[in-house]
Amino acid sequence: MNNAKKTALIAGATGVVGRSILQHLSDLDDWEVIAISRRRPDIAGNYQHIEIDLLDKDDCRDKLGNLLNVSHIFYAAYVERANLREMIEPNLRMLVNLIDVIEPVATGLRHINLIQGTKWYGNHLGPFKTPAKESDPLHMPPNFYYDQQEFIVNRQKGKNWTWSSGRPHGVSGFAIGNPMNLVMIVAVYATISKVLGLPLRHPGSRANAQALYQVTDSSLLARACTWMATEEKCANEPFNITNGDIFRWENMWPILADYFNMKTAQPQKINLTQMMADKGTLWEQLTKKHGLQKIPYEKLVRWEYGDFVFTPEFDIISSMTKARQFGFIEVMDSEEMFLRQFDELRARKIIP
């Protein structure tokens, strides 16, 4: 591993993944950090921020063309679209725009790390082989991960820099307005249920509650991405990254309910997108009563992601064997992760 001063460019620095990478690297003495995103990150730290729209090629050229010292790119930018096919063009364009500007000028570029996910294996389509391994065959496209990966692999041929990709699942952390943040879904759902005098029910089917599931702590993922980007033997390799344990939601809810001082009841499948849509006024009342941060309800959580998590009636398990064999041995207890992150949300005055 090269211990010389490194300069990281973090794309998507306000998302749950990018924010955690930013927080991690800005605390390290051997990194210079540049964060790029549409809005300024909400964390303090020793880093430079550039407000940018990666979909705008001219904006990228004008604002990033002088970043000559970038040695590592952590790519965590993401845009949501209505369907899988429509997600390809904008998500690929953002990556291409960034690399087209940075690669020619950053002659000391060493590594590009991409954030992917378990959708690589088709978990969004239905049951898939578990535990999923990085060597498993692709599913029928479209999948914008495939397009981004193909671009990077082809671009890297004959170059001095290398790439890696991390495939987490159920990423949990804190980021305002992030579309895929499981801990916020659970925390806000539990808080509203409690205020309404309801027990904490699993909002999916009984089969979903009984299926095996996995999550990834965002801070653990940040450390894993840093490891991938700086460990030479990780060059040009993908890695599953999860907490390293698995659980069933039916066993997790009593632990979560105890934290919120609530009772539990049997699962009751609901459409969170529909059922939680009218709770904005209630959240405003909670915000005033408890002095919470004034975050618009529609930016607090994305209930569509909750429906995505609590709909499958099959196991979702990724193999961590490859990461372990290559040297990343960190693990985290997922029960403890949820409780710790709830504490952090309370300390930040996000939930009461």
Express each pLDDT in 59-113 by its tens digit: 999 999 999 999 999 999 999 999 999 999 999 999 999 999 999 999 999 999 9
pTM above 0.85, yes or no: yes
Answer whether 192's CB lies under 8 Å from 279's CB: yes
pLDDT-wise least confident of 3-12, 97-106, 244-253 = 3-12
Q: What is the 3-state secondary structure of 189-258? A: HHHHHHHCCCCEECCCCHHHHHCEECCEEHHHHHHHHHHHHHCHHHCCEEEECCCCCCEEHHHHHHHHHH
Instruction: Please determine, for residue 1, whether its predicted confidence score (pLDDT) is greater than 90.
Output: no
> What is the H or E stretch that residue 336 is in?
helix 334-347
d(CA 337, CA 136): 29
CB count, 10 Å around CB of 195? Answer: 15
Q: How far is CA 144 from the centre of its chain?
A: 16
CA-based radius of gyration for the chain: 20
Express each pLDDT in 284-331 by its tens digit: 999 999 999 999 999 899 999 999 999 999 999 999 999 999 999 999
d(CA 325, CA 337): 24
Q: Three-state DSSP class for 60?
A: helix
Structural domains of the chain ordered from first start: 6-169+216-240 (3.40.50.720), 171-214+246-316+331-347 (3.40.50.720)
Cα torsion 83, 12, 309, 191: sign: negative
